[in-house]
Amino acid sequence: MNDANPLLQTWTAPHGLPPFADIRPGHFEPAFAAAMQAHLQELQQIAGQAAAADFDNTVAAFDRSGRLLARVEAVFSNLTASQTSAELQAVQRRMAAPLAQHDSRIYLNAALFERIDALHRRRDALALTAEQRRLLERVHLDFVRAGARLQGADRERYAAVMAELAERTTRFAQNVLHDENAWRLLLRTEDELAGLPDFVRAAARQAAVERGLADDAQAHVITLSRSLVVPFLTYSTRRDLRREAWTAWTSRGEHAGDSDNRELARTILRLRQQQARLHGHASYADHALADTMAGSRAAVQRLFDEVWSRALAAAQQEQQALQQQMQAAGETGPIEAWDWRFWAEKVRQARYAVDDAEVKPYFQLEAMVQAAFDCAGRLFGLRFAPRADLPVYHPDVKAYEVSDAAGRLLGIFMQDNFARASKRSGAWMSSLRWQNRNTPADGGGGRHAALGLAAELPVILNNNNFAKGAPGEPTLLSLDDARTLFHEFGHGLHGLLSNVTFDRLSGTQVLRDFVELPSQMFEHWLAEPEVLRRHARHCGSGEPMPEALMQRLQAAHRFNQGYETVRYTASAMVDMAVHARTEAEPPADLCAWEADLLRQAGLPPAVGQNHRLVHFQHLFAGSSYAAGYYVYLWAEVLDADGYEAFREAGNPFDPRLAERLRQFIYGSGNTLEPGAAYAAFRGRAPTVAPLLRKRGLLPEPA
């Protein structure tokens, strides 16, 4: 089987890319088995060698190990997120525990940890470079945080907890995808389509075609893709249908049956509490925050305190304006959560004469992609050359070779922009290979080279979930969609511009509350007038966005920010609160507990949340953002303060600042402590005032 398994063969496509067309779900389990066995043999050679431990034969060797497994895992995780199937999901469920058990075999390997620990204890005497020392410290901490110091029954229990967590988080994500795919709102009559502008109708018609309703000329479908449900909530005059869509969107994971996430989330919380206790922490939040810039719940709470009361006051003022608009239109009763976007759009049009139906034709998807590429070129000298001949996993995916100003190839970038039933919701960046220079010793032509493992060029992917335009018609983005595209592209640049030696320190593998800085920082360039003048052109006439419309957009950019800030911060507060609990048992009714917490915090019912616990994939489809959803706000302090440097320079493409941004933020990976990396770019520590001004929660200086 292995001889015919494309995952285990030489990848002969340009740049060592996977042979996606040849890969089948049945290839993964044997490939994982072979790759895990190969990895364990590599680790045994490191741990059992007679030579005394030194940096090269232990730490650098550990960083080089497992490349075959890494490439199989990368292909698998990208397919299960972006182009899944029932067969792949079954493999995902079966492999969750074995992969977690393999991680435990790595990090609970006593002989291997003994060598790493010995080097760590005498790190001051090893004459290491700064990057070597950083790798040693990070690898040592990885082992400690994975339970390497545990003994006896605690080690066994820890491994069992991590295996069960992997199974449960996999199921959680699959349940959310099930609920998203199971619901659709079918609209046929003009009454049901009332209020929807042409761009929403076109997207809903295309969604109907993609769901097998091409022969029903009247059929339009609203799905739970954000790019469809949010415009529907914004424009539909049918309040009953808005309520139906809102209820479906916010109740994902809360339906009795096989996809019910309520008890599953409680089980995940229970296991995380056991994990934290085994590490000696009172709560999972304490464990998670120990390896962050924030460092403690108290530091995160101080940030919440800076923002929450200001955001609540702003949201309450916004709600009054919406209520007045509603009453002026002859509607009675209170604003409900499914009403807010509808009436906010009416107020925005009245105050700023800004209408998405007028704005969207200037934000064509292809033009915004080119805008992002252009900004990367002006800042960092990058060039993106399309390569239609490179293998991709779906026809929607576009591949590019990325070169620097001197024409040197830096990496491969793949962009997958459209929503589909086989793809999870949201937007994300991922990798098929991290940039590094720590290639296997036989990189000149041995087994690793034959497998394509010696290449150091990064292969970076961006996924979005935009509603596709009809065949022959452009895909139009909202301003929020365009920001999402720039945000994920910022993550992509973080991977592509990485310039480090070691795989473990490459790209976005940084502390969680630093990782959102490069992505959120890049969003700022979308709003620059010179970028809009160059790229925001009408999809019909090709004319640039009128200056008057651009000025109205600039004037409206803080509109409704109380609402947006409260929604985000509420979700971050719930995340921190549920993971800060010290009880062994989670709340018996997680949904009721969540609602009560937010009621006590003063969340207006009309606002709602970004995410509820039962479908909060950031928290429960994996551990990366558990007790860490606050990181977007933390990073926004950095990005708002950082972009002030370009404003102070009077040039959004200031070459001196761009070079420092590339070197210390986008290029340094995890080779620098994040606070030091930011200070090296900015020349000082960040301040919170630019964030508050950006969100309209603090007046601009006179």
Of residues 488, 523, 564, 636, which has the active-site annotation?
A: 488
Q: Which of 499, 507, 485, 490 is nearest to 432 (CA)?
A: 507
What would the two tokens of residue 618 be? Answer: 């950031």
| Helix segments in 460-528, DSSP class H | 479-496, 512-526
Taking the C-alpha atoms of residue 4 and residue 17, their distance in angstroms, rounded to an integer, is 18
**For residues 191 and 238, is the Cβ–Cβ distance under 8 A?**
yes
Q: Which amino acid is at 155?
A: R
Exposure string for 327-363, b = 16+ CB within 10 A, e = fewer: eeeeeeeebebbbbbbbbbbbbbeebebebbebbbbb
Taking the C-alpha atoms of residue 2 and residue 65, their distance in angstroms, rounded to an integer, is 20
What would the two tokens of residue 395 be? Answer: 């026809």
Q: Which of 83, 127, 95 is nearest to 27 (CA)?
A: 95
Query: What three-state secondary structure class fits 1?
Result: coil
What would the two tokens of residue 688 be? Answer: 């919170």
SS (H, E, C) 275-335: HHHHCCCCCHHHHHHCCCCCCCHHHHHHHHHHHHHHHHHHHHHHHHHHHHHHHHCCCCCCC
Exposure string for 226-264, b = 16+ CB within 10 A, e = fewer: bbbbbbbbbbbebeebbeebbebbbebbbbeeebebeeb
Taking the C-alpha atoms of residue 492 and residue 503, their distance in angstroms, rounded to an integer, is 16
Which residue in this structure is represented by tokens 């990396």?
Answer: 677
Based on the residue annotation, tell me whether 644 is a catalytic residue of this protein.
no
Q: Which amino acid is at 303?
A: L
SS (H, E, C) 92-132: HHHHHHHHHHHHHHHHCCHHHHHHHHHHHHCHHHCCCCHHH
Taking the C-alpha atoms of residue 533 and residue 545, their distance in angstroms, rounded to an integer, is 6
Q: Which amino acid is at 78?
A: N
SS (H, E, C) 653-677: CCHHHHHHHHHHHHCCCCCCCHHHH
* CA dihedral sign of residues 589, 174, 70, 394: negative
Taking the C-alpha atoms of residue 213 and residue 219, their distance in angstroms, rounded to an integer, is 7
**For residues 382 and 404, is the Cβ–Cβ distance under 8 A?**
yes
**For residues 362 and 533, is the Cβ–Cβ distance under 8 A?**
no
Which residue in this structure is represented by tokens 């995380």?
Answer: 272
**For residues 584 and 278, is the Cβ–Cβ distance under 8 A?**
no
Taking the C-alpha atoms of residue 642 and residue 383, their distance in angstroms, rounded to an integer, is 24
- Residues serving a catalytic function are 488
